[in-house]
Structure 1
Amino acid sequence: MTKHYSLENYSLDESIGYLLRRAGGQLAVCVDRRLAEFDMTHAQYGIFCRLQTSPSTAAELARSSMTDTGAMTRMLDRLEEKGFVQRSRSSTDRRIVEVSLTDKGRQLADRMREVAVDTLNHLLRDFTPADVAQFKSFLRRMINNA
């Protein structure tokens, strides 16, 4: 195993962790700026993405977005008040409450997806397709090493 950092060569500004955090923060700011027209945030958009494919529980949504369950419940409360999501008891296990998009939520999800795609394309405009594929591969390897 190669050690890429040592006490002698470590610098915060050159740390992969710092750069990832900074890039992720910039992405969130750019997406939030664009989603403001819908009165939505990148965190809320993430919920819409997960729910576009199938219903989920609040706990599953919190786990997949690395958010605590209390914060997820508050976000879902706001989205439910706006008419974008609905909660219902599972037909197979009445103890489980599933969250799903409403028709209004599905329509907004499609519009927000366009914003996310445009924003990613803007931020990756100087990357070749091979660069993007390699970057994603590196990120997946780092995630798998965790």
Structure 2
Amino acid sequence: MDWEKRLHEFEQLIQLGIRQSRGVPPPIVKNLSKQQLLLMFTLNCTGRKTVSELAEELQLSASATTIAINRLVRDKYIERTRDETDRRLVWVQLSDSAREIVEKIRKQRNDMLVRLFNNVTVEEVDQFLAIARKMLQGPEHKQP
């Protein structure tokens, strides 16, 4: 198998996808880092979490997660609340305005993906998803 040739073609396809996605409207909120957006998307899916739960789920350090959350709290995208039964526990969750932003970004992203998959059949999309899942499972999850 000629891996070099295939990897080169894969890189070219990724670059083409990036160029085509440049026609997508700019992000809703420009002052958010990728890390902050990832935190917001995670909280949108999971609801409230502690900082340490978020850090573990996103595989970030507790300090990096705290810094990102502090900025999001400052900008009113995340709300902090103390647990009523254990005051040592602090929960973080998205504010209503942040939920709206996440949904707008998700819609933008989905519109872009629909355009990219426009010339592809449903069966081909299913194959693509199956292959992507298999690739991302890694060797430790391979079946005997």
Q: 1:120 to 1:100 in 2, by over 3 A?
A: same
Structure 2 portions without partners, runs of 5+: 140-144
Q: Greater Rg, structure 1 or structure 2? A: 2
Instruction: State the Cα distance separating 1:82 from its structure 2 match.
Output: 0.7
What one-letter code is carried by the residue in structure 2 that aligns with 1:133? D
Kindly indicate whether the alpha-carbon contact (under 8 Å) linking 2:25 and 2:108 is maintained by their aligned counterparts in 1. no
What one-letter code is carried by the residue in structure 2 that aligns with 1:86? E
**Corresponding position: 1:132 with 2:125:** yes
Q: 1:97 to 1:15 in 2, by over 3 A?
A: farther
Report the counterpart of residue 42 of structure 2 in structure 1: 50
What one-letter code is carried by the residue in structure 2 that aligns with 1:38? V
Alignment TM-score, normalising by the size of structure 2: 0.67
Report the counterpart of residue 98 of structure 1 in structure 2: 91
Out of 67, 71, 76, the position equivalent to 1:78 is 71
**Matching of residues 1-146 of structure 1 within 5 Å:** 9-11=2-4, 14=7, 19=11, 22=14, 26=18, 34-35=26-27, 37-39=28-30, 40-53=32-45, 54-146=47-139
Distance in 1 between residues matched to 2:83 and 2:64, nearest whole Å? 22
RMSD of Structure 2 on Structure 1 (CA): 3.5
Q: 1:118 to 1:62 in 2, by over 3 A?
A: farther
Structure 1 portions without partners, runs of 5+: none
SS in 1 for 2:137: helix
Give the percent of matched residue pairs that are identical in Structure 1 and Structure 2.
24
Alignment TM-score, normalising by the size of structure 1: 0.66
SS in 2 for 1:87: strand
Kindly indicate whether the alpha-carbon contact (under 8 Å) linking 1:45 and 1:112 is maintained by their aligned counterparts in 2. no
Count of residues in Structure 1 that have an aligned counterpart in Structure 2: 133
Kindly indicate whether the alpha-carbon contact (under 8 Å) linking 1:51 and 1:101 is maintained by their aligned counterparts in 2. yes
Distance in 2 between residues matched to 1:110 and 1:14, nearest whole Å? 34
